[in-house]
Amino acid sequence: MTSRPEAELDTSAAAETKTASGDNTRKVFVRTYGCQMNVYDSERMTDVLAPQGYSTTADMEEADLVILNTCHIREKAAEKVYSELGRIRKVKEERAKAGKDMMVGVAGCVAQAEGEEISRRAPIVDMVVGPQSYHQLPSLLDKARQGQKVVETEFDIDAKFDHLSARAEKPIMKRPPAAFLTVQEGCDKFCTFCVVPYTRGAEVSRSVEQIVTEAQRMAASGVREVTLLGQNVNAYHGEAADGSTWGLGKLLRRLSEIDGLDRLRYTTSHPRDMDDDLIEAHRELKSLMPYLHLPVQSGSDKILKAMNRKHTRDEYFRLIDRIRVAAPDIALSGDFIIGFPGETDQDFEDTMDLIRRVEYGSAFSFKYSQRPGTPGATMEDQVPEDVKSVRLQELQALLSEQQKAFNASRKGMTCDVLLEKKGRNPGQLVGKSPWLQPVQLDAPESMIGSVQAVEIVEIGSNSLFGRLIAGQDAADGSGAIPAPAA
């Protein structure tokens, strides 16, 4: 994949889940837009609501509570939310005719950015909740039921992290084999194209103890792979029990010691925070998967400076060289913004040259769009849309070619695959390779949740197709043959 879809990511639950008491009578529908951190936050929202008697539903029309967990990164993100609220209004009106109530909440980064404006433009919304306040959902719901219009967008990230830690001490129901775990939020980089510092706040890290406790509970509930999340995850600087500060490399080493937690990943990283200890962790830790998402955004020094990235293309090249010495088989992923203000044909060619030299296994690419409130939105020399479109098409063709070449290089290898779910066809399972590619193969359903040795026999446009190595079972997924270096 060379471009994240413009459509929102819908992670509304596919089935109901009940609390331990089994007495859930209310239903909540959560629609998630955007990044993995929002997916994690949505899951935590349902955790917070479960003791209040809520179970999840995939059918909005039967929901007593609808929450839109929003993202502000995409162009016209707020307008898409208002459009969705228009559809929700009709559902709410139909439920009212049948004598049924429906509460509506808007959470996440659009909620943080728009605040009171959402209540003004969409009177059906009962709650507006910023990304650092969802742990207060039960009390906010109580206020909304009393007829108050709730707008809670205060930055109290420490309270949120404390709540997550307390939640981790409680039993967790069985979870899918792969899960997200937020370790850091916010960003201090202030790239001129980005709204994150304004919607998520400054960089704050959870304590080592909080993260380890939650990871241990995840492993006990069936999670085999954890992806550590942060807006700038490799800027992690969490406090340990002895008062010292740990970086991401040291945290990964500690998590690698947890029984049952076989695979570790992290995203999203900034080149400026890729330190020696983290690079060395890629050399040392078998459980740290050979995949790294390290956005560069542009290959032009002039544009990198205008973006306030505070690194050069040569510094990025040298960093990539060090990473590949430590982990020769690593799959590199990146982000590219095309058509940033002032980008010339030569600037674009510099980006294409960088891509050719680095050779990515996958990447995401976008046309620059103006984010209100960011410095980039008011810069001169905005690039015409037709020029952006032509450049993006050319860049995506190159990235697609590189992705296909990387996937093809996996053919004939035998590698570990985490089997995560049933496939579309009977007897088929879908898993994940060490390099984050989907792998489809025939295997018994009992193997879901195990790591198995799989030979890659065919290559698809986005997926790999594998053959299960004989002699394995669901209880023994540790016999995989390591893939040779590419």
Evaluate whether residue 122 is within a structural domain.
yes
Residue-wise pLDDT tens digits, 389-403: 999 999 999 999 999
107-111, 262-266, 360-364: which has the minimum mean pLDDT? 107-111
Mean pLDDT for the chain overall: 86
483 phi/psi in degrees, rounded to 5: -70, 140
Cα 226 to Cα 218: distance, rounded to the nearest angstrom: 9
Q: Are residues 144 and 165 in the same domain?
A: no
Where is the domain boundary, 137, 154, 171?
154
Give me the number of domains the chain comprises.
3
Domain membership flag for residue 198:
yes
Q: Which helix (H) or strand (E) holds 389?
A: helix 385-409
DSSP conformational letter for 445: G
Q: Which residues pair with 363 in a beta bridge?
A: 334
Q: Is residue 16 part of a domain?
A: no
366 and 402 fall within a common domain: yes
Domain final residue, candidates 86, 120, 154: 154
Q: Which residues pair with 333 in a beta bridge?
A: 293, 362
Residue 481 counted as domain residue: no
The secondary structure of residue 3, as a DSSP letter, is: S
Do 192 and 311 reside in the same domain of the chain? yes
Domain of residue 207, CATH code: 3.80.30.20
Same domain, 57 and 136: yes
Query: Model pTM?
Result: 0.76
Assigned domain for 363 exists: yes
Q: Do residues 306 and 453 share a domain? A: no
Letter string b/e over residues 28-44, b meaning 16 or more CB atoms within 10 A of that residue's CB: bbbbbbbbebbbbbbbb
pLDDT(68) > 50: yes
* Residue 121 counted as domain residue: yes
Query: Is 415 labelled as part of a ligand binding site?
Result: no
- Please indicate, yes or no, whether residues 135 and 171 belong to a single structural domain of this protein: no
pLDDT tens track for 450-461: 999 999 999 987
Identify whether residues 313 and 401 lie together within a single domain: yes
Residues 427 and 380 both lie in one domain:
no
402 and 459 together in one domain? no
CB 186 within 8 A of CB 200: yes
Furthest CA-CA distance within the chain = 65
Same-domain pairing of 324 and 287: yes
Q: Which of 7-16, 66-75, 165-174 has the lowest mean pLDDT?
A: 7-16
CATH number, domain of 450, equals 2.40.50.140
Range of the domain at 428: 414-468
Token output for 116: 């009171």
Q: For the segment 300-309, what is each residue's pLDDT rounded down to a tens digit?
A: 999 999 999 9
- 89 and 208 both lie in a single domain: no
Residue that is last in its domain, among 358, 388, 409: 409
Is 187 assigned a ligand-binding role in the annotation? yes
The reply to whether 438 and 331 lie within a common domain is no
Instruction: For residue range 314-336, list pLDDT tens digits in order.
Output: 999 999 999 999 999 999 999 99
Place of tokens 């998520």: 200
Is 191 marked within a binding site?
yes
Residue 479 falls within a domain, yes or no? no
